[in-house]
Amino acid sequence: MKILIFHTYNQGYLSSFFHELAVKLIQEGHGVASFSWKATVSERIIDQVKVIVKKKEGYLINYCNVYNVIKKEKPDVVLSNFSYVNPALLFGRLLGVKKNMVWFHSLNEQMAASKRNIFIKKHFLKLADIVIANSYLTQNELCEFYEVPTTKIHAIPFWSTILEQKMEPSDLKFITEKNTVIIGCPGRMATHKNQKIIIDTLSELINSSKTNFHLYFAGTGEELTNLVNQVEELNLKHKVTFLKHLSANDMLHFYNSMDVVVLPSLHEAFGLVFIEAIALGTPVIVSSQFGALSFIDQKHTDLKKITFNPKCPKDLLDKLLPYINHQGLPKEIFKQLYASNFDKEVIFKKILNIIKTA
């Protein structure tokens, strides 16, 4: 079977997931190519995967490139995500692709989707044979807003490739004072990511004479300036460091250096940063709105120990205090949480079965 995967090919962990998925499909005897838009044009074989890259340009040229690659590769299955979905579905149908599949990633709140956006996406999704939702939150929105029949939807989580990454030397430096608790917050800086609540919470810690901490933000985005200003207004410059964008290798150092990671998003369809952290055994305090939580077996895990209401600073403070007092949950709990709920082989078998039987 020939499979064509549309995803952005880069050094990020989501790209690594799709590349590893392609490699595993090849090991099962399938032919796999991937297509990506980037700033330059290239075509090469990486781990037996044919990686086709076209220059990202205007709407018309981008659509033409999608049409041309489907016509040339003649896949039996197309799997697309993000901005590749609409053209891949359209031309997959026109060119007679047997199985048109979409991996749907984002909630409407994250995309700030307008009624027009939803209307357009709803009609394109009618062309899909199968829609994979990255969480049960996403699955519910696909049904409610996009009117995708439940028979077409499969909720499947990602796995993380971070455990296979070799740690190389890094120029990153973190405070190493024995009593200082190192708190991390990775992710794009946007309103819905809700990083403001962490700064407010740390200000409360200072007011209650808890000063043995340092916060490191990793990421950038439109809210960066506002967050820097907030830190300055609360006189927390000596307690907060903005690391800006980090490479995949630097992120590995980041996770391994944190005593606890706080993930405060108001809306998160899945949350790769969550499973990256727990895969490495980094303790996490995570917003209850993370879609990845919907895949955790709650019969064996008390999520209340690691989650908080992202609209309630007191809830975050209550969950953070044990770490400030050096009484937080041990790393092994988080490693086991990942191993039990995001097992790579289990997830891959589900994807493989969908491709085979869709």
| pLDDT, tens digit (0-9, with 9 covering 90-100), for 339-355 | 999 999 999 999 999 99
Per CATH, the number for 2-159+343-357 is 3.40.50.2000
pLDDT at residue 228, as a whole number: 97
The sign of the CA dihedral 152, 13, 194, 181 is positive
Q: How far, in Å, are 21, 128, 299 from residue 97 at the CA level? A: 20, 11, 41
Q: What is the pLDDT confidence band of residue 299, given thresholds at 50, 70 and 90?
A: confident
**Which residue do the tokens 């595993």 mark?**
24
Please state the pTM of the whole predicted model: 0.93
* Secondary structure of residue 242 in the 3-state scheme: strand
pLDDT at residue 106, as a whole number: 82
If you write DSSP's letter for every residue of 71-100 in order, what string do you get?
A: HHH--SEEEEEGGGHHHHHHHHHHTT-SEE
Domain ranges of the chain: 2-159+343-357, 164-341
pLDDT in tens, 90-135: 999 999 999 999 999 887 776 667 889 899 999 999 999 999 999 9
* Percent of the chain at pLDDT exceeding 90: 91
**Angle of the 13-27 helix axis to the 248-257 helix axis, nearest 10:** 110
The CATH number fitting domain 164-341, selected from 3.40.50.2000, 3.40.50.970, 2.30.40.10, 2.30.30.60: 3.40.50.2000
Q: Is the pLDDT of residue 290 over 70?
A: yes
d(CA 214, CA 236): 10
The DSSP symbol for 329 reads: P
Q: What is the pLDDT confidence band of residue 358, given thresholds at 50, 70 and 90?
A: low
pLDDT at residue 111, as a whole number: 67
Position 85: which residue type?
V
pLDDT at residue 300, as a whole number: 78
pLDDT at residue 13, as a whole number: 86
Whether 219 contacts 187, CB under 8 Å:
yes
CA atoms within 13 A on the CB side of 262: 33
Q: What is the mean pLDDT of residues 260-288?
A: 97
Q: What is the mean pLDDT of residues 4-19?
A: 93
pLDDT at residue 356, as a whole number: 87
d(CA 208, CA 281): 29
pLDDT in tens, 191-220: 999 999 999 999 999 999 999 999 999 999
